[in-house]
Amino acid sequence: MSTHDDAHEEDRPDPSIPSGANVLTAIEVRATDAADLTELLLALRAAGADVVTINSFPATKKGEDDEITRVFDIELRDLGPVEALAAAETVPGVYSAGARPTLGQVFGKRVIVIGGGAQVAQVALGAVSESDRHNLRGERISVDTMALVGEAEIAAAVRAVADLPRAHILVLAGSLMGGEITRAVRELRQLGMPVVALSMAGSVSAEADLVVSDPVQAGTMAVMAIADTARFDLAKLRGRRY
């Protein structure tokens, strides 16, 4: 059962990018082939919900009714869980609906680390250790990494960070990055995403908000930059090198 009604989780703020919402609610709907996602959304909208996120995947739970073929995870605002579940259950094909914490409440803000394996691992070491300290004091920061090779591949991943839910900062961990990667960093920063880069060859570091030589410190600083529990203002350090 994914119907976790852990009061502690429910009370947490959700740092999803669509912030400033009135009520942020998440429901999980288990459905048969007869269920239609658009009808489900129409029912939720009619009840007053603003749907923020939907994920749909095949039902794989063992021992469950064979007719249940699909799961819809829906995050919405402006409507509480009781009303949202009631609305979902009116839709034909919906087998069960349960409330759950939003992914933002559980996994919080995301630090994204992209680059070469050896350096990504060291940045992650710093970022995970630092996030642990902030999470102990009430923050929720997770550290997500992608080890990649190649200018086109890394540039595409940098651009895709703009589409990653709850991504709050990017760390580029490599030894040589430029060209298309630098253009991708410029675009990402234009969207409001801060970028930390290791001190490295290539033009990318000139485009970053902050350049750090030690990968462990780069990870630590990236977490400090997005933690509400830290006194660290990236705006004051813009363009600096450490």
Shortest Å distance, C-beta 26 to a second copy: 8
Which residues lie below 8 Å from residue 114, measured CB to CB, with a gap of 6+?
120, 145, 146, 148, 154, 157, 158, 161, 170, 171, 172, 173
Residue 14 within binding range of a second copy, rule CB under 8 A: no
Whichever of 32 and 135 has its CB closer to a second copy, that residue is 135
CA–CA separation, 133 and 224 (whole Å) = 10
The DSSP-derived string for 1-17 is ------HHHHTS----S
Using CB under 8 A, pick the residue from 23, 47, 51, 237 that binds a second copy.
Answer: 51
CA–CA separation, 146 and 161 (whole Å) = 11
Residue 54 within binding range of a second copy, rule CB under 8 A: yes
In angstroms, the first-to-last Cα distance of the chain is 48
CA–CA separation, 242 and 231 (whole Å) = 17
Residue listed under structure tokens 């006194």: 231
| Residue list 192-211, contact with a second copy (CB under 8 A) | 192
Number of residues in the chain:
242
Residue listed under structure tokens 């977490």: 223
Using CB under 8 A, pick the residue from 53, 96, 199, 229 that binds a second copy.
Answer: 53
| Residue list 100-139, contact with a second copy (CB under 8 A) | 100-101, 103, 106-107, 116-118, 120-121, 124-125, 128-129, 131-133, 135-136
| Residue list 143-202, contact with a second copy (CB under 8 A) | 143-149, 152-153, 155-157, 159-160, 162-165, 187, 190-192
> Site residues (CB under 8 A) for a second copy?
1-2, 4, 6, 8-9, 16-18, 28, 37-38, 41-42, 45, 51-58, 60-63, 73, 100-101, 103, 106-107, 116-118, 120-121, 124-125, 128-129, 131-133, 135-136, 142-149, 152-153, 155-157, 159-160, 162-165, 187, 190-192
